[in-house]
Each structure stands twice: as structure tokens, then as C-alpha cells.
Amino acid sequence: MTDTYRNIPSLSERYRPYFRIGAAVNAKSLNTHRDLLVTHFNSVTAENEMKWEEIHPEQDRYEFAKADALVNFAREHGMFVRGHTLVWHNQTPAAVFLDDLGQTATAAVVERRLEEHVATVLGRYHNDIYDWDVANEAVVDAGTGFLRDSRWLQTLGDDYIAKAFRIAHQAAPDALLFYNDYNETKPDKSERIYKLVAGLLDEGVPIHGIGMQGHWMLDDPALDEIERAIDRYASLGVHLHITELDVCVYGNVHGTGGQSQEVLPYDDELAKRLAERYRSLFSSLRARKDVIESVTFWGVADDDTWRDNFPVRGRKDWPLLFDVNHGPKQAFWSVVEF
């Protein structure tokens, strides 16, 4: 461990009485951000390495090397692993939904492929991964609809989510299985997520938790909106994880228009505002430690964040607790000093 990390408190140790502290990692960051990970985190999530197109790019071919490296890293350092993700409308090969002639495959064929994929992946990691995001981003953001019009919905019908959870439970009966989504605090979408999970529970589907992604901004959503959503979900009696936390310093990422195009310098004022936002967020999360079990950042430090390319490609953002040189930001101190 270098001196850079020796003289600052460990984030995960500081939060051990409250909840696990995780980070999304990739094959590169396991090496480039190793010291930060080992010092400050006790849980990891694969940023992309366990998504279908990465781990199972062709029907008869799996690529486990990167996912194995992540699991081995976690095992070596006594970390938890969150599995992410099994059923999603993105990053799933189109061939999953096609037959040998390139035509739309039947529901029976697609369901059999899902069963085989889940059995293979969860079977490989059943001793190491205890939490899985089974279904990801399956409800609509706005309007009068309910479920997203994905290939999964089109092929398997309205009960495809229930099928996915039952398949995952059969493959890994001891794993906690989550529904994961963004804009999870917005009133309309929050109610859709609540309706979905409540309906699955009523059907006896083995769903155990809700993953709140937490791709938030400096001023949005309001803290009371976040708290209402957490409390509403907690009323279902399920596990709650914050799964993809970061704080964009720009405008609305998942809005329906008018996203900010401005470019800001990371000056003292912005650093202060970010620290204040993180302070209020973690104060609220600590107060809900009885229902929040895990908080995972979507990234480790500002030198490697998806926010640099979304919603404006190539625009620098500073959404995490560690800066581009892996040093603790003012936001870090606002989270550990309370």
C-alpha cells in the first residue's frame, strides 16, 4: 500500500456499522485502481464483464476470463460481489432472439437460451456471488405504459420478469435476487417499480430486493424525494441496495429533454457543492441503515467514469469521491467525517 492511502481513513471501515461500500470495476481498474479498492471498498460489481454480450457473446461461446479475474480479486481481498446483470434490453446479443435462419425465435427457444445462460453463469459463481441484478431497467420512464417494449417482452410476454427470477432462483437458490433500475425516485416511475415488485411478491416470485441505481445530480432528485422512495420500497419488506451511485455535476442525465450542454471547471465552489450533496445523501442513508444494506459507487475515481461520455460525449465530469489522481476529494471527507 502506498503512502497516498496510508494516512486517510478507510471508507468501508468507517461504514462497517452501517452498510457495505462497493464500487463498479472493470478488467483494467482492478489493476489501475487496486490500492483504492483494497483500502476503501468491501464489495465490487462488474461494470460490464458479466453482461450477456461480454460473458456469452455467441450462443456456443462463453468468455469467463474477465469475470473470473474480478471474482478472484474479490476472494483474495475478502470482498462481496454483486452480479450484474442477467436480463436487460441493452448489451444482449441480437442472436439470442433469432433462430438459425435469422428470423424471430419462438418463445420456447428464447426461454431455453435464458435458462441455459443463467444456469451456466450462476452455476459457475454460486459460491462467490450472493446478490444478482436479475432484471434491469424493465419499466418505462414516462407516459401511460408499464413495461419497456424490449425484445424480452416481445418474445416472452408480460411474465418474462417472473420467469427470469424463477430461473435464477433455481440456478442459485441461496442468492439474493434484485430488480434494478434508474430514475427510481421519480414519483411516476417509483410507483411503477413498486407495482412491479409488489406484483411479483404477490405471485410468490423469488424476488428479494430492489436496486436503486442512484445516478443523481447536485440538485436533483431532492433529498426528500429520495427518502420517500426508499421508505416506499422498504414497506415491501425487501432488501434495498444503492447499486450505481454517482453525482453528476451537470444537468439531468435521464430526463426527457433539455439536458445541460454546459462545461464547468472543477473549482473550489463546485467541489464544495459536491461535498455538500454527498454529505446530505450519506446522512440520509445512514439514518436508514436498517433497510439499506449496500451502497455501490459506479466507478472508483474520476479518471475512469462513464459520466465523461454521458449525456455529452467527451465532457469531463467529477462524480465520485476520489479525484483523477486517486486522491480523496472534499466530497470524500464529507462522507467519512460525521
In tens, the pLDDT along 252-268 reads 644 444 566 788 889 99
Q: Is 70 exceeded by the pLDDT of residue 71? A: yes
| Mode of pairing for the β-strands spanning 43-46 and 80-88 | parallel
Q: What is the mean pLDDT of residues 87-110?
A: 96
Q: Is 80 exceeded by the pLDDT of residue 308? A: yes
* Rounded-to-integer distance, Cα 164 and Cα 52, Å: 14
DSSP for residue 302: T
Q: Is 90 exceeded by the pLDDT of residue 57? A: yes
User: What is the per-residue pLDDT for 254?
Assistant: 46
pLDDT, tens only, 314-330: 999 999 999 999 999 99
* Rounded-to-integer distance, Cα 37 and Cα 55, Å: 23
User: What is the per-residue pLDDT for 1?
Assistant: 44
Q: Which amino acid is at 128?
A: D
244 is catalytic: yes
Handedness of CA 138, 24, 133, 249 (dihedral sign): negative
Annotated active-site residue in 47, 49, 137, 244: 244
DSSP string of 33-63, one letter each residue: THHHHHHH-SEEEESSTTSHHHH--BTTB--
Cβ-contact 194, 233 below 8 angstroms: yes
Handedness of CA 235, 237, 239, 243 (dihedral sign): negative
Distance of CA 25 to the CA centre of its chain: 11
User: What is the per-residue pLDDT for 5?
Assistant: 53
Q: What is the mean pLDDT of residues 11-19?
A: 98
DSSP for residue 79: -
Mean pLDDT of the chain, nearest integer: 95
Higher-confidence position of 196 and 254? 196
Name the phi and psi angles at 289, rounded to 5: -60, -20
Q: CA torsion angle for 219, 225, 230, 234 (degrees, to 10)?
A: 180
Q: What is the mean pLDDT of residues 273-300?
A: 98
pLDDT, tens only, 199-216: 999 999 999 999 999 999
* Rounded-to-integer distance, Cα 39 and Cα 6, Å: 9
Domain topology for 19-251+264-299: TIM Barrel (3.20.20)
Q: Is 295 helix (H, G, I), strand (E, B) or coil?
A: strand
Q: Is 80 exceeded by the pLDDT of residue 118? A: yes
User: What is the per-residue pLDDT for 7?
Assistant: 78
* Rounded-to-integer distance, Cα 233 and Cα 308, Å: 31
* Rounded-to-integer distance, Cα 120 and Cα 122, Å: 6
- Burial classification of residue 152, based on how many CB atoms lie within 10 Å of its CB (0-12 exposed, 13-18 middle, 19 or more buried): buried
Q: Is 80 exceeded by the pLDDT of residue 6? A: no
* Rounded-to-integer distance, Cα 147 and Cα 153, Å: 8
Judge if pTM exceeds 0.85: yes
The C-alpha cell 457473446 sits at: 57
In percent, how much of the chain has pLDDT > 90? 91
